[in-house]
Amino acid sequence: MEKAVKHFDNSSALISAQHKLKSKKRILFIAEAVTLAHVARPYTLASALDAGNYDVRFACDSHFDALFSDSKLAKVPIRSIPPSRFLDALAKGEPVYDTPTLRQYVKEDLKIIERVNPDLIVGDFRLSLAVSVRLANIPYANITNIYWSPYAVQTYPIPEHVMVRLVGLSLAQQLFDLVRPLIFASHTLPLNRVRKEFGLASLGLDLRRTYTEADHILYADMPGLIETTELPSNHHYLGPILWSPQASKPDWWERLDKSKPIIYLTLGSSGKTGRLSEIVNAISSLPVTLLVATAGRFQLENPPPNVFCSDYLPGDEAAALADLVICNGGSPTTNQALNAGVPVLGICTNLDQYLNMQAVQQSGAGRLLRAGMASRTTILGAVNGMLTNPSCRKAAEKLGQAHREYNASARFTALADKLLR
């Protein structure tokens, strides 16, 4: 390990020397391609930067390349664990990354940093950057959500877990409240071990510190969504980072029956598709027009005549067309819905989705359903209630107006200019 540390010390010196040879400031974005959101957010910010002012490089695995085929960004290959492994760990409540994986990530990060020689690094869920950027001594900005902030004031709903089925939701939640700090602590151990190997101090046992370690923390949310204590000056609200695939509209798009309520349904890249048929069959029994985007993860056989399917749809336009958006509760699709002033029903599985949807529900602009307890009856009840409740639409429209006043790309560009002036 001493030999490895010496090599990284030499790399740091080389990186510092290379800085003096550049004329245009260089920003390296590193996306952890385990879900589409962690690629789309940095991609959107990187694409917004003026190429005349910045030399932008985008490091990412190829898992979602098909959705970014039109990209003009300078791509740098980097490895991420498969999305299936990530989702499996979430489902089991296990740490997503083990120590060997993070150790290897650090080595890959440093090779890319040495080759690219950036003035600023922007990451999205690339936890190894909490080590590699410190070794390389490069300023680091970390994209995350406000509900993972150590300064957020909130409760933590128990995500989908076998304990809910065994003892019931109420008792399972009480048990989760007791053991959650220990669960969070267990998720911090792999990264802290790797930091120790490279001579860096522990980040402690709070998972939120692990997720928000950086020189600057960039929240892809609006202020007021979640109550916080006073944030330090290096914590910045960018606002929702909106992205939609450049998908061609299906031939049925212009033939949609708009005389009935339109519902847009997508479970994204991280939602469970096992019950998609059941959800579609339930909703299609209503007098509605249902648009379904499967993210290429599911094939809907013989859909009813009021159901229109595609692998991908232009999500922003689909949300704007809809009277209700149904998703997995994650921030990308809920932000599309709320930006259009449309209420959202989140059928949630993992903790990230619960935390996001809990805040949306508290705003009055949406409703959270537990995926493990969502039946045909509860889904139909929620859909009917939201379509007929004007207060839900008004709350979504109010949030939408606030959304549109926050331009995340413009705010990031201004911050980058300030940091690298």
- If you average pLDDT over residues 397-421, what whole number do you get? 94
90 within domain boundaries: yes
Asked whether residue 166 falls in the same domain as residue 295, the answer is no
388 within domain boundaries: yes
Least confident of 169-173, 301-305, 347-351: 301-305
* Among 416, 407, 406, 417, CA closest to 140: 416
- CA 134, CA 113: separation in Å to the nearest integer? 11
Confidence of residue 163 (pLDDT cuts 50, 70, 90): confident
State which amino acid sits at residue 84: S
- CA 337, CA 319: separation in Å to the nearest integer? 5
What's the distance, CA 315 to chain centroid? 15
- If you average pLDDT over residues 65-78, what whole number do you get? 90
78 within domain boundaries: yes
Rg for the chain, CA atoms, rounded: 22
Asked whether residue 47 falls in the same domain as residue 193, the answer is yes
CATH of the domain at 195: 3.40.50.2000
Whole-number pLDDT of residue 161: 85
Asked whether residue 281 falls in the same domain as residue 154, the answer is no
- If you average pLDDT over residues 384-389, what whole number do you get? 94
245 within domain boundaries: no
pLDDT digits (tens, 9 = 90+) for 124-152: 999 999 999 999 999 999 999 999 999 99
Asked whether residue 183 falls in the same domain as residue 319, the answer is no
In three-state form (DSSP H/G/I as H, E/B as E, the rest C), the secondary structure along the chain is CHHHHHHHHHHHHHHHHHHCCCCCEEEEEEECCCCCHHHHHHHHHHHHCCCCCEEEEEEECCCCHHHHCCCCCEEEECCCCCHHHHHHHHHHCCCCCCHHHHHHHHHHHHHHHHHHCCCEEEEECCCCHHHHHHHHCCCEEEEECHHHCCCECCCCCCCCCHHHHHHCHHHHHHHHHHHHHHHHHHHHHHHHHHHHHCCCCCCCCCHHHHHCCCCEEEECCCCCCCCECCCCCCEEECCCCCCCCCCCCCCCHHHCCCCCCEEEEECCCCCCCCCHHHHHHHHHCCCCEEEEECCCCCCCCCCCCCEEEECCCCHHHHHHHCCEEEECCCHHHHHHHHHCCCCEEEEECCHHHHHHHHHHHHHCCEEEEEHHHCCHHHHHHHHHHHHHCHHHHHHHHHHHHHHHCCCHHHHHHHHHHHHHC
Whole-number pLDDT of residue 220: 97
Is the full-model pTM beyond 0.85? yes
Confidence of residue 162 (pLDDT cuts 50, 70, 90): confident
Confidence of residue 58 (pLDDT cuts 50, 70, 90): very high
Reply yes or no on whether the pLDDT at 123 is more than 70. Answer: yes
Number of separate domains in the chain: 2
Asked whether residue 305 falls in the same domain as residue 222, the answer is no
Whole-number pLDDT of residue 17: 47
How buried is 66 (Cβ within 10 angstroms: 0-12 exposed, 13-18 middle, 19+ buried)? exposed
Chain length of the chain: 421
Pairing of strands 324-327, 344-348: parallel
Confidence of residue 22 (pLDDT cuts 50, 70, 90): low
Whole-number pLDDT of residue 274: 63
Asked whether residue 284 falls in the same domain as residue 415, the answer is no
Buried b (16+ CB within 10 A) or exposed e, 99-108: eebbbebbeb
Asked whether residue 14 falls in the same domain as residue 114, the answer is yes
Asked whether residue 231 falls in the same domain as residue 367, the answer is no
- CA 400, CA 296: separation in Å to the nearest integer? 29
Asked whether residue 311 falls in the same domain as residue 234, the answer is no
8 within domain boundaries: yes
247 within domain boundaries: no
Provide the domain limits for residue 200: 2-239+406-420
304 within domain boundaries: yes
Whole-number pLDDT of residue 264: 97
pLDDT digits (tens, 9 = 90+) for 111-121: 999 999 999 99
Asked whether residue 227 falls in the same domain as residue 285, the answer is no
Asked whether residue 375 falls in the same domain as residue 412, the answer is no
**pLDDT over 90, % of the chain:** 77
Q: Assess contact for 191 and 197: CB atoms under 8 A.
A: no
246 within domain boundaries: no
Asked whether residue 291 falls in the same domain as residue 192, the answer is no
Of 205 and 69, the structure prediction assigns the larger pLDDT to 205
Q: Is the CA virtual torsion 396, 400, 406, 409 positive or negative?
A: positive
